[in-house]
A and B are shown apart, each in its own frame.
Chain A
Amino acid sequence: MVPRSLDIDAHLPLTPVAFEILLALAGEDRHGYAILRAIAERTGGRIEPHAGSLYRALGRLTDEGLLAEVDGPDGEGADERRRYYRLTAFGRRVAGAEAARLEEQVGVARARALLGEA
């Protein structure tokens, strides 16, 4: 599917689940359950979507060109093979832009003494 928009700002802000998915895929390709585990572990279980919400988000991010579906690594049997997701270059840029946006917000929050100094 042709990406709806290559304008990065049109994708911001990302929903928390979408951003977590992009983060989980930043290092390596993963299949659905691995993404879910990675998110749950990183957030200490605060964000733990069920399958439906996860695949809705994955489907949408793929349609928008932020992710691409790829075959799983070799070595798994044909029927064992799972669908893996990979962060596209565009997706990487969107995730970066979202991070920058959040960082700016955090900066403001810190300036107004909402956060303690680390």
Chain B
Amino acid sequence: MLYRAFLALLPRRFRARHGQEMERVYREGRAAADGAGRGAGVRFRLGALGDVAKTAAAEHARALGLGTRTGGGGMAGWLEDAGWALGSLRRSKGFAVMTMGILALGIGATTAIFSVVQGVLLRPLPYDRPDELAIIWGRLTTRNVERFPVSPPDFLDVREASPAFAEVGAVVTFQQSLVSADADAVQVPVAGTTANFLDLLGVRPILGRGFTEADAAPNDPTLQPGQPGFLNAAGLLSHSLWQQRFGGDPSVVGRIVEVGGGPMEIVGVLPEGLRLHLPRGSNSVSEPALWTAMQLDYGAAPRNNVFLQVVARLRPGASVSQAQADADRLAETLRGRFPSKASTGYEFAVRSLHDELVAPVRPVILALMGAVGLVLLIACANVSNLLLVRGSRREREVAVRAAVGGGRFRIFRQMALESLILALGGAAAGTALAWVGIQTLISLRPDHLPRIEEVGLDPGILAFAVAVALASSVVFGLVPALRNSRARLATALKDRGRTAESHSARRLRSVVVVAEVALSTVLLVGAGLMMRSFDQLRSVEPGYRPDGVLTFSVPVPFARYPDPAARARLLDDLQGRLSAVPGVERAAAVFPLPLGETAFNGRWGTADAEADPSLFRQADFAMVLPGYFEAAGTRIEEGRGFSSADQADSAAVVVIDRALADQAFPQGGAVGGRILARVVDPENASWFDVVGVVEAQRHTSLVDEGRGTIFFTDRLVGSFASAWVVRTSGGDPTAVAAAARRVVSEIDPDLPMADTRPFQAVVDDAMADTRFALVLLTAFGGLALVLAGFGLYGVLAYVVRQRRAEIGVRLAFGAAAAGIVALVLRQGMGLAVAGVAAGLLAGALLSGLLESLLVGVPAGDPLTFGAAAAAFLVVAALACLLPAVRASHVNPVEALRED
């Protein structure tokens, strides 16, 4: 228990008198704070630890009589001693810089990482009473699909399902073109919500009004915009769109704009900084520029068309498990009513919104917390070692001063001040490092950590790290200071401190070094595993070749092109003109873009599934224009790709990837075979002829092997492919971006074009998780390696100094210099080997925690463990060599005369 360990910092008398009661009070306070919520518990723990450190410092000072001054009394004496301490540090600059540097690294790294933990994992969501918010997913248990959105009619049922729900709302985000009289058409992220959604979160417009149920009333489909009885959509502007597009003009409320080709009335403006915090699996954008109440007839929509993210507010005191039990009963009813729900094993999952949001990043953050905790420990161990060594080196100096009448209290005070100056210097530099560290973390992972952009330097955590560093340096600085201030002149001068340090103190230092080596070996193993994962990830064959390819999206506004044939003509026209741009080899559209943010999947099966629908499986779907495989660089392994003939008559043909072919046709013969897939008709699967097999696709994630992908012709599904994939002949695919933009606006100036970037950038983004863990664990591993090297060097240098006389005697009696080097090396490497062995063992036990972050590397990878051990032993050998060589250069005469 950490608190009890901290109590050891207190002076023995104080601890004996109050320790037990303090622990009791701590436990009771902790129980109360835990009851008050997540953040309160953490704050209480940190506060209590800091408080013990503070109490310890104050009580040590009191026990040592710093309150009752003898000699050098008053402010002048303190200043004089502080000056002395500064001067003595200036004389040993190397020591001072190293100590402060190590403290700064420890404080900086710890504060940066724990600030992220606080910001991402622990801080409540920025909505009203965020603990009451829950998200409701659909699950297809027979197809291993977790976290599915919900269809509109299911949403209506969920809303009535449980008395635990105070309110249930839904949201879906998508991209739409925005056209208004005074500026170019742009594509903006839009959140379509139920009328109550923003109220449910507790968000109120700063201007105008919120949505009402009337805003969400479905339109009569026979009416055209502008006709009497037609209801304009209602829209709320995000603060940033209001500022950027409308210059913050309050009269924007009431204006009509065109969104997705239809009229929308702006009814209000939302507060600054509003974000939609939904889990990553929901494929939703976090900063919608525009919010609208969807004019949707929820009851009339098909049950199988799932797209809503359902969010509920629980009644005060109601629990998620209560709501889950009610949702389970609803799911059972639905399975009884609808065969498709029965065959998919349909269930609902009700989860706390906050838990779901942080679940995907929890492993990486916890791994980092562990790593940074180890770094802090190593840093403290190192500093204590440095201080202990320095303390014992100065025993003679102190003894002389004591002998010539320096008061014991003053000597002690000078040394204590020296430690304090070191600690404060380290803390100041550490604060700066922490700030830099947080900025670096934010720049490494702009999108993938939820709410990372809101993370800042957390003062409580900084205080904690500074307190730990202060405590470690003051305590370890004071132990030798205390001993020194009592040093007896005769012994100190005669034995040059050899006996002044007890055997147990020497062993303590060896133990500290072994522990340090072990801890850094653990970190090296972690860093090594991440490096191997990243390497594996880089060499993954995703099933397409992104280099030299430009991607961008041109969503076709349905309201402007309501007719599929018109959309098809538009896409054909675009494809033709884009292909004619100089430098373009091939252009084609796809939906969705591989590794993009949109999910498109559905069920497929073989003839068995016709008889038994539970045999349907889930696959990723993509619809493409002819030429897509050539543009994306996807290898066709059997059969052929799509031709314009397939497109022209909307033939029921598909191309499948190797992963799906292996499942559907284990005996081979995929081309010419048939599969069932549900793609056009929302209720029923239909038959498709397989005309080709392409290499296995990693369509939704680079990390996981794909579950199988089916490619359809865009025409068959309804002609709305929006992601363009343009293979260029030049080196830099962005060179054709301007020409592409011209082509798009020539065809229709109101067509928005967005997300223009090299395909490679999309693929790199998919590695962000692994890269984030890699960069940080490698940095910490390297840091730990260097720190442990210094630690080893410090101890050996000290040992060599202690044994100078003995070494001198050996040399005088004709021992070879090489023998002396070997002697010292043996001692140092003994410590290193013990540490590495302990570290490998601990690494084997702990590496399982990284499992979920590893790609294609087992947690017990022998190569990584071997490399970590080897790397460490090399560093250890270097750290030992310098003192060893120095020992062999000892001049026997001088060494002996010193005695």
Residues of A within 8 A of B (CB): 31-33, 36, 49-56, 58-59, 82-83
Task: List the B side residues contacting A58 at CB < 8 Å.
Answer: 18
A2 CB to closest chain B CB, in angstroms? 16
In the bound complex, do residue A59 and residue B14 qualify as a contact, i.e. CB atoms below 8 Å apart? Answer: yes
In the bound complex, do residue A55 and residue B51 qualify as a contact, i.e. CB atoms below 8 Å apart? Answer: no
Task: List the B side residues contacting A53 at CB < 8 Å.
Answer: 51, 54-55
* A49 to B754 alpha-carbon distance, docked (Å): 56
Task: List the B side residues contacting A56 at CB < 8 Å.
Answer: 14, 55, 58-59
* A58 to B21 alpha-carbon distance, docked (Å): 11
Residue of B nearest to A31 (CB): B21
In the bound complex, do residue B21 and residue A52 qualify as a contact, i.e. CB atoms below 8 Å apart? Answer: no
Q: What 17 new A-B contacts, CB under 8 Å, besides A50-B47, A50-B52, A52-B48?
A: A32-B22, A32-B25, A33-B24, A33-B29, A50-B26, A51-B25, A51-B26, A51-B51, A52-B54, A53-B51, A54-B22, A55-B14, A55-B18, A55-B25, A56-B14, A56-B58, A83-B21
* In the complex, chain B residues 22-56 whose Cβ is within 8 Å of any chain A Cβ: 22-26, 28-29, 47-48, 50-52, 54-56
In the bound complex, do residue A52 and residue B24 qualify as a contact, i.e. CB atoms below 8 Å apart? Answer: no
Known: A32-B24, A56-B55, A82-B24. Contact between A51 and B17, CB under 8 A?
no
Picked from A32, A49, A50, the residue with its CB within 8 Å of the CB of B21 is A32
Task: List the B side residues contacting A51 at CB < 8 Å.
Answer: 21-23, 25-26, 29, 48, 51-52
In the bound complex, do residue B18 and residue A50 qualify as a contact, i.e. CB atoms below 8 Å apart? Answer: no
Interface centre among A36, A49, A55, A59 (most CB of B within 10 A): A55
* A49 to B44 alpha-carbon distance, docked (Å): 11
In the bound complex, do residue A33 and residue B18 qualify as a contact, i.e. CB atoms below 8 Å apart? Answer: no
**9 nearest A-B residue pairs (beta carbon):** A52-B55, A50-B51, A55-B18, A51-B22, A51-B25, A52-B51, A52-B52, A33-B28, A33-B25
A51 CB to closest chain B CB, in angstroms? 4
* A82 to B51 alpha-carbon distance, docked (Å): 22
* In the complex, chain B residues 862-879 whose Cβ is within 8 Å of any chain A Cβ: none
* A56 to B54 alpha-carbon distance, docked (Å): 10
Task: List the A side residues contacting B56 at CB < 8 Å.
Answer: 52
Task: List the B side residues contacting A59 at CB < 8 Å.
Answer: 14, 17-18
Task: List the A side residues contacting B21 at CB < 8 Å.
Answer: 31-32, 51, 55, 82-83
Interface centre among A32, A50, A83 (most CB of B within 10 A): A50
* In the complex, chain B residues 819-869 whose Cβ is within 8 Å of any chain A Cβ: none
In the bound complex, do residue A36 and residue B25 qualify as a contact, i.e. CB atoms below 8 Å apart? Answer: yes
Interface centre among A31, A51, A52, A55 (most CB of B within 10 A): A52
A21 CB to closest chain B CB, in angstroms? 13
A52 CB to closest chain B CB, in angstroms? 3
B144 CB to closest chain A CB, in angstroms? 49
Task: List the B side residues contacting A52 at CB < 8 Å.
Answer: 10, 22, 48, 51-52, 54-56
7 CB < 8 A contacts A-B: A36-B25, A51-B22, A51-B25, A55-B14, A55-B18, A56-B55, A83-B21
Task: List the A side residues contacting B17 at CB < 8 Å.
Answer: 59
Residue of B nearest to A56 (CB): B55
* A83 to B18 alpha-carbon distance, docked (Å): 10
Task: List the A side residues contacting B29 at CB < 8 Å.
Answer: 33, 36, 50-51
Residue of A nearest to B53 (CB): A52
B43 CB to closest chain A CB, in angstroms? 11
* A100 to B52 alpha-carbon distance, docked (Å): 33
B248 CB to closest chain A CB, in angstroms? 40
Task: List the A side residues contacting B54 at CB < 8 Å.
Answer: 52-53
* A9 to B667 alpha-carbon distance, docked (Å): 98
Task: List the A side residues contacting B25 at CB < 8 Å.
Answer: 32-33, 36, 51, 54-55
Task: List the A side residues contacting B59 at CB < 8 Å.
Answer: 56
* A25 to B35 alpha-carbon distance, docked (Å): 27
* A110 to B48 alpha-carbon distance, docked (Å): 38
B758 CB to closest chain A CB, in angstroms? 54
Task: List the A side residues contacting B18 at CB < 8 Å.
Answer: 55, 58-59
* A33 to B51 alpha-carbon distance, docked (Å): 16
Interface centre among B29, B56, B58 (most CB of A within 10 A): B29
* In the complex, chain B residues 762-779 whose Cβ is within 8 Å of any chain A Cβ: none
A46 CB to closest chain B CB, in angstroms? 15
* A83 to B10 alpha-carbon distance, docked (Å): 20
Interface centre among B21, B25, B54 (most CB of A within 10 A): B25
Task: List the A side residues contacting B22 at CB < 8 Å.
Answer: 32, 51-52, 54-55
* A56 to B47 alpha-carbon distance, docked (Å): 16
* A59 to B58 alpha-carbon distance, docked (Å): 13
In the bound complex, do residue A50 and residue B48 qualify as a contact, i.e. CB atoms below 8 Å apart? Answer: yes
* A83 to B24 alpha-carbon distance, docked (Å): 11
* A101 to B59 alpha-carbon distance, docked (Å): 29
* A58 to B14 alpha-carbon distance, docked (Å): 11
* A59 to B18 alpha-carbon distance, docked (Å): 8
Residue of B nearest to A62 (CB): B17
A11 CB to closest chain B CB, in angstroms? 15
Task: List the B side residues contacting A82 at CB < 8 Å.
Answer: 21, 24
* A59 to B13 alpha-carbon distance, docked (Å): 11
* A36 to B51 alpha-carbon distance, docked (Å): 15
* A37 to B438 alpha-carbon distance, docked (Å): 37
Residue of A nearest to B59 (CB): A56
A67 CB to closest chain B CB, in angstroms? 13
Task: List the A side residues contacting B48 at CB < 8 Å.
Answer: 50-52
* A33 to B22 alpha-carbon distance, docked (Å): 9
* In the complex, chain B residues 54-68 whose Cβ is within 8 Å of any chain A Cβ: 54-56, 58-59
Interface string of B415-445 (1 = CB under 8 A from A): 0000000000000000000000000000000
Task: List the A side residues contacting B58 at CB < 8 Å.
Answer: 56
